[in-house]
Amino acid sequence: MASDRNGETTDRAPAEAVGTPAVRFAHESEEEFARILDFYGISWQYEPRTFPLRTDGDKVVEAFTPDFYLPDIDTYIELTTLRQDLMTEKHRKLRTLREIYPGVEVKLLNKRDYLRLLAKYGFGPPSPRSIEGVHRVLVSAPQIRRRVKELGAQITKDYAGRTPVLVGVLKGVACFMADLMRQVSLPVAIDFMAISSFDNVNGGYVRILKDLDESIDGRDVLLVEDIVDTGMTLNHLLTYLRARKPASLKVCTLLDKRARRLVDVPLDYVGFEIPDEFVIGYGLDYGQLYRNLGFIATLKPGWMEEQAAQAK
């Protein structure tokens, strides 16, 4: 697996990389590892750097090329087989590498180890197979963390000197609200509303199931949404909130499915623009499940239809 040649550096954007193995791997397990990284939306490079370990004059006589580099956690990964003869040699090389390059983080992993590592860094449960129905990760946990931090910083700057009220719409906003409010370094109040969702059978209109607890008259209101799809829900909510005479009313949404917009709604803060696909995770549900995933993912093609057919 580790080779003494200079591997080509291939920086892969995780979302686009799925199913497009442009890299030629030396071993099947490396390709599987890359697929798992892609599944979790983790950026990786294959054999980007060779570390000289021993030289004879100008000539490198021994070197070590770890299999992967994960820029998000600044760590090199060397995958292992369980062949003891190879392991002893690998351990020796790693010891030497750590002595010569003390600032470089290299982890030696077997398959069980690397699934655990991914779970530890918040990329989800230890195996993709354990989340039934999930197709692929569209926005990974580290990508969400980074973006929520940026949004929080922007909101802190824009509302400096004021005490905004963050209004969330239950239940999809639960994760986003919890993370976003902790990234806003201002005194903030929070409040929640719950609304009825569209009923295919009975039709009807958006009903308020839970109203705000406090008055927003004269307050700076920031409506926090999980996702804006057609924009109809948000449009209704904005009309409702405007009638309660806030000093200002802005919108922050984590996801924007712009391609499906039917009503033109103003979005002041957007986490990610996503394609026209049904997504789950990080608060978003399918049949009330999947809200607890740390990332945003799509469902397997046909999964919803299959589940609906089974429920009949």
Applying CB under 6 A, which of residues 278, 287, 292, 306 lies at the interface with ligand 5GP?
A: 278
Are 220 and 247 spatial neighbours (Cβ–Cβ below 8 Å)? yes
Distance from C-alpha of 251 to C-alpha of 158, rounded to nearest angstrom: 13
Q: How far is the CB of 217 from ligand 5GP (least distance, A)?
A: 25
Are 89 and 98 spatial neighbours (Cβ–Cβ below 8 Å)? no
Q: How far is the CB of 233 from ligand 5GP (least distance, A)?
A: 3
Examine residue 284 and tell whether it contacts ligand 5GP (CB under 6 A). yes
Cβ-based nearer residue to ligand 5GP, 224 or 228: 228
Applying CB under 6 A, which of residues 134, 177, 251, 279 lies at the interface with ligand 5GP?
A: 279
The catalytically annotated residue of 38, 226, 229, 256 is 229
**Residues pairing with 256 in the sheet:** 228, 273
Cβ-based nearer residue to ligand 5GP, 165 or 227: 227
Q: What residue has token string 């994960």? A: 70
Q: HSE, CB side, 13 Å, CA atoms: give it for residue 11.
A: 2
Examine residue 256 and tell whether it contacts ligand 5GP (CB under 6 A). no
Q: Is-cis flag, bond preceding 210, omega within 30? A: no
Segment 213 to 242, residues that bind ligand 5GP, using CB under 6 A:
226-234
* 11 classed as catalytic: no
Q: How far is the CB of 172 from ligand 5GP (least distance, A)?
A: 5
Distance from C-alpha of 165 to C-alpha of 224, rounded to nearest angstrom: 10
Query: How big is the chain, counted in residues?
Result: 312
Examine residue 285 and tell whether it contacts ligand 5GP (CB under 6 A). yes
Cβ-based nearer residue to ligand 5GP, 101 or 286: 286
Examine residue 172 and tell whether it contacts ligand 5GP (CB under 6 A). yes
Distance from C-alpha of 29 to C-alpha of 1, rounded to nearest angstrom: 9
State how far the alpha carbon of 113 is from the alpha carbons of 41, 78, 210, in Å: 19, 11, 46
Contacts of 219 (CB under 8 A, 6+ apart): 163, 164, 165, 189, 246, 247
Interface pattern 86-125 for ligand 5GP (x via CB under 6 A)? ----------------------------------------
Cβ-based nearer residue to ligand 5GP, 107 or 236: 236
State how far the alpha carbon of 59 is from the alpha carbons of 62, 89, 93, 247, in Å: 9, 21, 18, 71
Contacting range for ligand 5GP; rule: CB under 6 A; set: 93-101, 140-148, 151-159, 282-290: 282-290
Examine residue 298 and tell whether it contacts ligand 5GP (CB under 6 A). no
Contact residues: ligand 5GP, CB under 6 A:
172, 226-234, 257, 278-280, 284-286
Residues identified as active-site? 229
